[in-house]
């Protein structure tokens, strides 16, 4: 999503009115780290009128006026509000109808201006007016420029704290106000904002002014503006709410699924909250260049095109499910985030964790055959990986400035947060939990909240104390390792549970030998095998570090320590228990089999288990029928391929990959690469994962040749292969591809019929292995061929390409000044997080030195985590080299 636009200005100049003279300003204050970046709570906006003149087809500038109606809680001689990268003038303050002389003082270190008054004004009402001018930004923040072919647009992206780069405002979530927005632009431009258009006034010189209805109370980060040549779908209705999809011209055929998903999920959200959709309209806007995946602007939700516009004939099942999940996530925010908003960014998780959980919950109720909680398990697994690091952070974490707020848009806030929400919902019961959420939303609508408001509502509804259970989960970093051992005593079977903070390395390799004192209240649910085909759940609230749980079954066939993967912890089973689970794995649900693999792999990484038996387990799963379980199997195998490449001789590394191919090729041959009539989605998805295992990881030559052949067919006719194979087929084709194929991919990306096809071919140029093509792909990151939104993602892909990663890191260092301008704050962490794939002490040192010399405000935590991951990988490689060599020798016998 990041990139600085180098677009040319229009060659058709327009005569502009002279702008207002700048107001006299005092000397800027010296830069220093402020004690607090929060604005005074004693000056609050109630209503805000914003008028902006912008026409991106004619100019890269904009100008406007803003009028704030304020409530002053006490006498004051100054008003501070946010403004950054704007030229301000014509400051006017009125109190009781009387003008008060005022001057501006810039505070760049606080991204604010102070309005210094010539006299003290009393508590009560006041009006503050300012004129402002700025340039459409190139970094996808504030009010920024975007392009689709030759058309130019202006869009906003204001979360977390970028409304201040659009107009002078009180840019903190607690300052909710009612906004009236008006826009003067070219007569041919579409203009969208949060509310419906109230009226459009034609002007001279081919211009118009669009006036929008005043909004309900909103935080500034939820405001929206889109200006440019946009087309709209026919509406669909969810009760009285009309839903429309807006897009750049020519993509109307791709809107049907988004409309269906929005209608179906919105109806279920209204039923869940027992409250109608709270805004006057619902526009879904496909933005051609956008930093985030999507943004929950009230009434006007913005999306990346890939997450809104799809062709049912060519979309993959993963892409389709992801579109539905993201749409539902953003619509859940209309209640959880927009209607009820966190008071400050340290409670960001109140917005994002609940919207994440709600999206999976609602889409699963709409499409149970999609098995959305299996998808969630993959995301949760990634969150467990990040949260195992010493450099993780609590779900709730103190936020001192906007950069720290931006850092928190990560796996911990979203996926760990959603996992804790799910755990609490399961513990309290679905009905009590929903009643508490309804009460919370009803009590705090159009206001701001903190976490305790939610705990109080859930406690009242469930008649249980919620805060003592949940507090440790949101205020402590990390998660428990739960050791589980069964014991037979006095004729009864019982479980011995012992918790400790999970560590991703053996104790002897840890920097700190002191054991962690952390503990968590665990609403534990286990699965006990009671008969040949039967099992039952056992529940227990564990509030101590050690606990005992009696089992109703005298001699259970097996015990699985995290039923339905509902708890955010890793169970550690005894070796005999693990053997019993492996033998009875078909009695576990698919998500539990995914967990079984993931937890066993984490035990190997943490030094609690050996790599040989783990490989034996993974390579016996070739007959697994569930594609999500196979995908879970592929994750540790991919990591072990990297370990083999780094620590084994090349011939041994090739032999390791061949063993993967040998294990899964019979299943791939059985299902073939051609789709069959009346196949289920699972069968098609299973084929795709098997192709990845055999062709990508196993690198079987015959399979790769067939994939290259299918890639050539796919380039000529998208209908020749099952869409679910497309990503892997194109990636394998690229890995073995030449210059002609590279050029073909570029032309197909340019001419693509869908956003997904464009993404597929553009990202695939990062998979080529020939050195000159690697360099060409890297240089394209500095051109408009790779959109701003895609630069960080492509660099991340190339760091994952073992034949391109060293060249990619060298390029990043050499061209960082230009690259940094093309990676917005939320995206710049992506390639940083991928640098550990370089491996080794040398590259760790280089990464540390480089980012010490080129610090990134929103990437400090990412750098620390990357350096820690370098260390973890090195320790694991050193510890695993000999066991891997021994395992390979044993396989060769």
Average pLDDT value over all residues in the chain: 93
Mean pLDDT of 759-786: 98
Residue 292 three-state SS: coil
pLDDT of residue 509: 62
pLDDT of residue 489: 83
Among residues 330, 592, 635, 868, which one is catalytic? 330
Mean pLDDT of 865-873: 97
- And the tokens for 706? 């067939």
Residue 206: pLDDT over 50: yes
Residue 359: pLDDT over 50: yes
Q: Residue 511: which pLDDT band, with cuts at 50, 70 and 90?
A: low
Residue 167: pLDDT over 90: yes
Query: Quick one: what percent of the chain has pLDDT higher than 70?
Result: 95
Rounded distance between C-alpha atoms, residue 363 and residue 303, angstroms: 18
Range with lowest mean pLDDT among 16-30, 608-622, 722-736, 877-891 = 16-30
Residue 22: pLDDT over 50: no
330: annotated active-site residue = yes
pLDDT of residue 214: 98
Rounded distance between C-alpha atoms, residue 654 and residue 645, angstroms: 8
User: Exposed, middle or buried, 27 (CB in 10 Å: 0-12/13-18/19+)?
Assistant: exposed
- And the tokens for 838? 């370089």
Identify the residue with better confidence: 348 or 402.
348
**Cis before 860 (ω within 30):** no
Q: Residue 32: which pLDDT band, with cuts at 50, 70 and 90?
A: very low
Please check whether residue 827 is in contact with residue 861, taking contact to mean a CB–CB distance below 8 angstroms: no
Rounded distance between C-alpha atoms, residue 104 and residue 620, angstroms: 71
Mean pLDDT of 728-737: 98
Query: Quick one: what percent of the chain has pLDDT higher than 90?
Result: 91
Mean pLDDT of 613-619: 95
- And the tokens for 289? 């260049």
- Stated pTM of the model: 0.94
Report the sign of the C-alpha dihedral through residues 376, 382, 385, 386, in that order.
negative
Residue 202: pLDDT over 80: yes
Residue 100 three-state SS: strand
DSSP element (H, E) containing 536: strand 535-542
DSSP element (H, E) containing 247: strand 241-247
Rounded distance between C-alpha atoms, residue 431 and residue 272, angstroms: 10
Residue 469 three-state SS: helix
Q: Residue 1: which pLDDT band, with cuts at 50, 70 and 90?
A: very low
Q: What angle do CA 234, 236, 239 make, to 5 degrees?
A: 150
Which residues, in sequence order, are CB contacts of 381 under 8 Å at separation 6+?
594, 598, 632, 635
DSSP element (H, E) containing 447: strand 447-449
Rounded distance between C-alpha atoms, residue 236 and residue 257, angstroms: 11
Mean pLDDT of 637-648: 96
pLDDT of residue 38: 94
Residue 595: pLDDT over 50: yes
Rounded distance between C-alpha atoms, residue 8 and residue 238, angstroms: 42
pLDDT of residue 626: 97
Please give the C-alpha separations between residue 295 and each of 147, 221, 286, 524, 617, in angstroms, as whole numbers: 19, 10, 11, 35, 42
pLDDT of residue 204: 94
Rounded distance between C-alpha atoms, residue 854 and residue 852, angstroms: 6
Rounded distance between C-alpha atoms, residue 716 and residue 680, angstroms: 26
For residues 200-234, one letter each, b for 16 or more C-beta atoms within 10 angstroms of the residue's C-beta and e for the rest, the string is eeeeeeebbbbbbbbbbbbbbbbbbbbbbbbeebe
pLDDT of residue 28: 36
Please check whether residue 877 is in contact with residue 646, taking contact to mean a CB–CB distance below 8 angstroms: yes
Residues constituting the chain: 893
Task: Give φ, ψ of 562 to 5 degrees.
Answer: -150, 75
- For tokens 């072919």, the residue is 149
Q: Residue 749: which pLDDT band, with cuts at 50, 70 and 90?
A: very high
Task: Give φ, ψ of 249 to 5 degrees.
Answer: -55, 145
Rounded distance between C-alpha atoms, residue 177 and residue 170, angstroms: 9
Please check whether residue 273 is in contact with residue 437, taking contact to mean a CB–CB distance below 8 angstroms: yes
Rounded distance between C-alpha atoms, residue 137 and residue 135, angstroms: 6
pLDDT of residue 513: 58
Range with lowest mean pLDDT among 32-36, 263-267, 468-472, 586-590 = 32-36
Q: Residue 19: which pLDDT band, with cuts at 50, 70 and 90?
A: very low
Residue 528 three-state SS: strand
pLDDT of residue 555: 81
Q: Where are the alpha helices (H) located in 334-416, listed in sequence order?
A: 348-366, 372-387, 402-407, 411
DSSP letter at 306 equals G
Q: Residue 893: which pLDDT band, with cuts at 50, 70 and 90?
A: low
Mean pLDDT of 565-580: 95
Report the sign of the C-alpha dihedral through residues 797, 800, 805, 809, in that order.
positive
Please check whether residue 788 is in contact with residue 289, taking contact to mean a CB–CB distance below 8 angstroms: yes
pLDDT of residue 508: 66
DSSP element (H, E) containing 527: strand 522-529
């Amino acid at each position: 999503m990041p990139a600085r636009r180098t677009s040319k200005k229009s060659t058709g100049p327009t005569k502009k009115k002279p702008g207002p003279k700048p107001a006299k300003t005092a000397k800027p204050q010296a830069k220093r780290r402020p004690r607090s970046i929060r604005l005074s709570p004693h000056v609050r906006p109630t209503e805000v009128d914003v008028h902006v003149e912008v026409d991106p087809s004619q100019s890269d500038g904009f100008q406007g006026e803003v009028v704030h109606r304020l409530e002053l809680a006490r006498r004051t001689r100054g008003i501070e509000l946010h403004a950054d990268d704007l030229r301000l003038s014509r400051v006017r303050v009125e109190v009781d109808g009387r003008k008060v002389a005022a001057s501006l003082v810039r505070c760049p270190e606080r991204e604010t201006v102070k309005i210094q008054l010539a006299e003290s004004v009393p508590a009560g009402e006041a009006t503050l007016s300012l004129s402002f001018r700025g340039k459409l930004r190139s970094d996808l923040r504030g009010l920024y420029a975007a392009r689709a072919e030759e058309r130019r647009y202006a869009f906003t992206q204001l979360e977390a704290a970028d409304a201040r780069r659009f107009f002078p405002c009180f840019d903190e979530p607690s300052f909710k106000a009612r906004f009236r927005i008006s826009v003067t632009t070219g007569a041919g431009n579409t203009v969208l904002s949060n509310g419906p258009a109230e009226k459009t006034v034609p002007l001279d010189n081919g211009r118009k002014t669009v006036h929008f209805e005043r909004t309900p109370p909103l935080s500034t980060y939820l405001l929206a503006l889109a200006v440019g040549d946009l087309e709209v779908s026919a509406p669909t209705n969810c009760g009285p709410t009309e839903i429309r999809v807006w897009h750049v011209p020519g993509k109307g055929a791709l809107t049907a699924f988004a409309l269906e998903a929005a209608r179906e999920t919105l109806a279920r959200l209204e039923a869940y909250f027992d409250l109608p959709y709270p805004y006057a309209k619902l526009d879904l806007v496909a933005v051609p260049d956008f930093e985030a995946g999507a943004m929950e602007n009230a009434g006007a939700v913005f999306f990346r095109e890939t997450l809104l516009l799809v062709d049912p004939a060519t979309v993959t099942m993963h892409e389709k499910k992801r579109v539905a999940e993201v749409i539902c996530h953003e619509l859940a925010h209309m209640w959880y985030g927009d209607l009820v908003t966190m008071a400050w960014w340290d409670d960001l998780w109140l917005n994002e964790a609940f919207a994440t959980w709600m999206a999976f919950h609602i889409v699963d109720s709409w499409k149970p055959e999609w098995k959305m909680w299996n998808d969630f398990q993959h995301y949760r697994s990634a969150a467990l990986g990040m949260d195992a690091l010493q450099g993780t952070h609590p779900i709730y974490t103190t936020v001192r400035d906007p950069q720290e707020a931006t850092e928190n848009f990560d796996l911990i806030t979203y996926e760990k947060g959603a996992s804790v929400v799910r755990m609490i919902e399961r513990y309290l019961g679905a009905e009590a939990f929903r009643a508490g959420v309804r009460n919370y939303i009803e009590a705090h609508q159009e206001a701001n909240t903190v976490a305790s408001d939610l705990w109080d509502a859930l406690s009242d509804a469930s008649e249980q104390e919620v805060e003592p259970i949940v507090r440790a989960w949101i205020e402590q970093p990390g998660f428990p390792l739960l050791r589980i051992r069964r014991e037979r005593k006095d004729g009864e079977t019982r479980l011995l549970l012992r918790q400790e903070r999970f560590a991703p390395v053996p104790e002897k390799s840890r920097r700190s030998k002191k054991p962690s004192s952390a503990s968590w209240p665990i609403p534990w649910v286990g699965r006990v095998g009671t008969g040949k085909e039967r099992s039952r759940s056992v529940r227990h609230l564990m509030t101590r570090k050690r606990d005992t749980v009696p089992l109703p079954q005298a001699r259970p066939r097996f015990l699985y320590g995290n039923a339905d993967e509902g708890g955010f912890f890793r169970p550690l089973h005894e070796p005999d228990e693990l053997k019993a689970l492996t033998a009875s794995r078909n009695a576990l649900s698919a998500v539990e089999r995914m967990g079984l693999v993931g937890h066993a792999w984490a035990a190997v990484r943490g030094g609690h288990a050996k790599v040989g038996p783990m490989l034996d387990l993974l390579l016996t799963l070739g007959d697994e029928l569930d594609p999500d379980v196979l995908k879970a199997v592929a994750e540790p195998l991919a990591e072990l391929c990297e370990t083999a490449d780094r620590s084994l001789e090349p011939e041994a590394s090739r032999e390791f990959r061949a063993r993967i191919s040998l294990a899964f090729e019979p299943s791939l041959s059985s299902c073939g690469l051609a789709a069959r009539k009346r196949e289920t989605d699972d069968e098609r998805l299973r084929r795709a994962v098997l192709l990845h295992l055999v062709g990508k990881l196993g690198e079987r030559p015959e399979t790769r040749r067939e994939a290259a052949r299918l890639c050539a067919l796919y380039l000529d006719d998208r209908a020749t292969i099952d869409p679910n194979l497309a990503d892997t087929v194109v990636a394998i084709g690229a890995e073995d591809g030449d210059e002609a194929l590279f050029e073909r991919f570029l032309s197909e990306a340019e001419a693509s019929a869908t956003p997904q096809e464009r993404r597929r071919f553009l990202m695939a140029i990062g998979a080529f292995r020939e050195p000159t093509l690697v360099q060409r792909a890297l240089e394209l990151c500095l051109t408009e061929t790779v959109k701003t939104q895609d630069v960080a993602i492509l660099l991340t892909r190339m760091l994952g390409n073992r034949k391109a990663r060293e060249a990619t890191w060298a390029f990043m260092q050499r061209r960082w000044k230009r690259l940094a301008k093309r990676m917005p704050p939320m995206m710049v962490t992506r390639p940083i997080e991928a640098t550990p794939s370089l491996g080794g002490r040398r590259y760790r040192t280089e990464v540390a030195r480089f980012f010490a010399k080129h610090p990134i405000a929103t990437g400090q935590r990412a750098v620390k985590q990357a350096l820690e991951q370098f260390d973890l990988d090195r320790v694991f490689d050193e510890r695993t080299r000999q066991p891997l060599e021994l395992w390979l020798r044993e396989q060769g016998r």
